[in-house]
Amino acid sequence: MAELSDTERTLAPPPAGALSVQGLTISYDSPAGTRELVRDVSFDIGPGQIVCLVGESGSGKTLTGRAITGLVRHSPRLRAEGTVSFGGRELSTLPERELRRVRGGQIGMIFQDPAAALDPVIRLGDQIAEAIARHGGPAGRDSRRRRATELLTQVGITDPELRARQFPHEISGGMCQRVLIAIALAGDPSLLIADEPTTALDVTIQAQVLDLISQLRRERGMSVLLITHDMGVAAQLADQVVVMYAGSVVEVAPVATFFSRPGHPYSAGLMRAVPRVDAPRARRLPAIPGTVPEAADRPPGCPFQTRCPLKLEVCGSEQPPLTAAGQSSGPQHLVACHRSAELLAGGLTVWSAIGATS
């Protein structure tokens, strides 16, 4: 079969949007030796599905999202292993030239800081038009500008012709985030990776951005990987939740199962740390003691053991594998905890156990 030309490859329809990450490990070569920043991460995203990747800062969420699109290749000290399959294509072995056609085209990405992600000296419309041109949009400068204006309208920006002529410093942070979403949509992607898309936005704008992502998923049938530390966002949008801690996945569950029966003490701790409007005003907000360990300081065995109120002796020597939590039907609930069976069976009440240490 003849190889596709550059033009044919650009105009080829995007894959179905199904993503499979298997055994992703990202290592960092330092003077003190090799450190694993992300260790054996595996999860799947189905077509049209929203998966939330949650965890504290330093858990490896952003690095995982960047590795999916091959951005870690640009760092000479980072090395990624494992497989990333998207729509039946293995991305981890694609040549960089072909991967660039997938990145931004079939997979759109919204970066964490909109002010830093936008070029301060290029007009907003031109930045969107550049993305359109790169990923097979209409030919001609005027056509691309019209398409840029259409995208600004789709993401809810009023007076798009005016905004297209402005620079990033002339609009609000919420508008900058919407422009980034427009750039991410320029290649008509079937998967959108949104890394903390509501960071530094006020609550009203946060809600608008999240509603926009949900609306785009419905209208376009996109899959979404939403990286966040906000459990409320996960509860509102996710079909499935993937919890990361210290570079490892510790729980994967459908959203309803996750919020009703968390199988890992860390997941329960995250949920208890969310403010509640019905809690007594004098009650202190529960917190997980300690911090996420750096890669060089991770303990042997379970990475959460130094902060876990349910630690067993085996937790100090053996890292528990991510295994099925025992459901006989429906989407799988996976947990990496030596006591998950007891927790889910009700033999121990994880909420009160953690509360006793708060």
Q: Please, are residues 262 and 348 in contact by the beta-carbon 8 Å criterion?
A: no
Dist CA 239 CA 254 (whole Å):
6
Percent of the chain topping pLDDT 90: 44
- H helices of the chain, in order, are 6-11, 61-68, 96-102, 114-117, 124-134, 141-154, 160-164, 173-185, 203-220, 231-237, 255-260, 265-272, 340-345, 350-355
pTM confidence score:
0.87
Of residues 18 and 51, the one with the higher pLDDT is 51
Secondary structure class of 118 (helix, strand, coil):
coil
| Beta strand pairing call for 50-54 and 248-254 | unpaired
Q: pLDDT (tens digit, 9 = 90+) per residue, 57-100?
A: 999 999 999 999 999 888 888 999 999 999 888 998 889 888 88
Q: Please, are residues 330 and 256 in contact by the beta-carbon 8 Å criterion?
A: no
**In the predicted model, is pLDDT for residue 294 greater than 60?**
yes
**In the predicted model, is pLDDT for residue 146 greater than 80?**
yes
Percent of the chain topping pLDDT 70: 87
* Angle, CA of 335, 340 and 342, to the nearest 5°: 160
How many C-beta neighbours within 10 Å does residue 237 have? 20
Q: Please, are residues 250 and 267 in contact by the beta-carbon 8 Å criterion?
A: yes
Per-residue confidence (pLDDT) for residue 337, from 0 to 100: 93
Of 128-137, 269-278, 301-310, which range is least confident?
Answer: 269-278
Distances (CA, A) of 243 to 53, 103, 192, 231, 333: 6, 25, 19, 10, 12
Dist CA 353 CA 189 (whole Å):
44
Domains (range + CATH), the chain = 6-238 (3.40.50.300), 243-355 (no CATH)
Radius of gyration of the chain (CA): 22
Q: Please, are residues 160 and 149 in contact by the beta-carbon 8 Å criterion?
A: yes
Dist CA 208 CA 1 (whole Å):
47
**In the predicted model, is pLDDT for residue 27 greater than 80?**
yes
Confidence of residue 2 (pLDDT cuts 50, 70, 90): very low
